[in-house]
Amino acid sequence: MKTNYSSIVSIVTITIICSLLTVTFYLNIPDNWRFENPLAVFVANIMLYYLIFIFIRTFLLLVLSFLEVVFYKRNRIIQSFPLVTIIIPAYNEEKVLTPAIESVLDIDYPNLEVLVVDDGSTDNTFVVAKEMEKHEQVRVIHQANAGKSEALNHGISEALGDYFVCMDADSVLSKNILLEAIPYFEEDENLAAVAGAVKVGNSKNILTSFQNLEYIIGLNFHKKAQSFLKMVTIVPGPIGVFNRDKVYALGGYSSDTFAEDSDLSMRLLMEGYNIKYCDKISAVTEAPDDINSLITQRYRWSRGMVQAIFKGIGILRENYSMRGLLVVLYMFFETIMIPLINFSFIVLTLEFALLYNITELMGPYFIGLTLLDVALCFYSIITEQKIGYLLILSFLNRLTYGLLLEVIRFFSIFDELLKVPMKWGVLVRKGLD
């Protein structure tokens, strides 16, 4: 989509106005609070200043996102066609593997190979993959079950391409992925990876619709802002294009966290490499469509990111750099501090409501955050031309889906600190719409 810059300016202006009005409204509330409990007054004021901080943070990220859209040229012409290897790690993916391979073969690029790594599947994944070797671009290798990270590393070691793409077996890639991504590498020799957009392919109920909203806002807001600084913190598993030599020299993926994509992205950034985001390339993937599957997935993601952050702290101790410090601090705040603070405010509000009959403590706080959610959603659905029902969901998100995610993050953080044992967890594939 060719973005109309005047429209973006209008949306940014509306968002800023909503933010300022909300803060102004909230600043007047403490004068009307007459809590007898001094702790309630203290908490109310902490919540106020935290909300102001969140608005400032949001404003800065929004400006960076806007600058990425305005100043980073969108039309690139590819100069050469280096060999690219598409790596598909697969464990019990027989239902979704064929469409994934077919989508890769349909990519508009003349020089690619497809490498399927069967990670010791117990179903017919290997058989399905071997059937696709009728296409000369497809190779299939088998290994004893060792986990996704080892499957990816096996694929990287076997890859013949100068660049490689990691994709999930349940995903379908956009046809333009390589024509759009390779020019980024041609422009910046220090670039290690290009992240793409993740889209929900099974948006069939309220839960998957909330995830659709989450991805749209996250991509338009966080990743574009990070991309302006060339410091995208997570290259998502379903779609990432990498410089093979840079990743291989760093040791590839690590198996000591439950978020191998976050871990690799952090290590690349801390090593001094750049990572960009391209909104023109995408992967359509299958999102959890029931509560149990969602909790399992997000719990693993959150714990894995906490593991990657602590690992990053260890790297800093051995090899300090200002860039590495900024990466770790940003991830620590976004992944650990914000969830802990949000959950603490929820618990304190419930405590005051039950023990001291103070029921109005959280209301203005949630009003401010909800208006911010709606403003960001409005910005995102306009720039991405998404359907408007997502705007309605944004009014509900903070007290429903968003609240559920905060609870999951809180417990995953403490479970990791306490080293509670956990397993990887497997999402049962049902196929895309």
CATH 3.90.550.10 in the chain is located at 84-309
Confidence of residue 1 (pLDDT cuts 50, 70, 90): very low
Q: What's the residue count for the chain? A: 433
Between residues 161 and 16, the one the model is more confident about: 161
Please tell me the predicted confidence (pLDDT) of residue 305: 95
pLDDT in tens, 23-48: 655 555 555 555 667 777 777 778 77
Please tell me the predicted confidence (pLDDT) of residue 345: 81
Average per-residue pLDDT in the chain?
84
Please tell me the predicted confidence (pLDDT) of residue 30: 53
Instruction: Please tell me the least confidently modeled range out of 191-195, 320-324, 348-352.
Output: 348-352
- Residue 296 contacts residue 252 (beta carbons within 8 Å): no
pTM: 0.89
Please tell me the predicted confidence (pLDDT) of residue 415: 92
* Burial of 233 from C-beta contacts in 10 A (0-12 / 13-18 / 19+): buried
Confidence of residue 6 (pLDDT cuts 50, 70, 90): very low
Mark residue 272 as left, alpha or beta (left: phi above 0; alpha: psi -120 to 50; beta: remaining): left
Please tell me the predicted confidence (pLDDT) of residue 2: 44
- The four Cα atoms 179, 221, 374, 34 give a dihedral, to 10 degrees, of 170
Q: Average pLDDT in the 84-97 region?
A: 92
CATH topology of domain 84-309: Spore Coat Polysaccharide Biosynthesis Protein SpsA; Chain A (3.90.550)
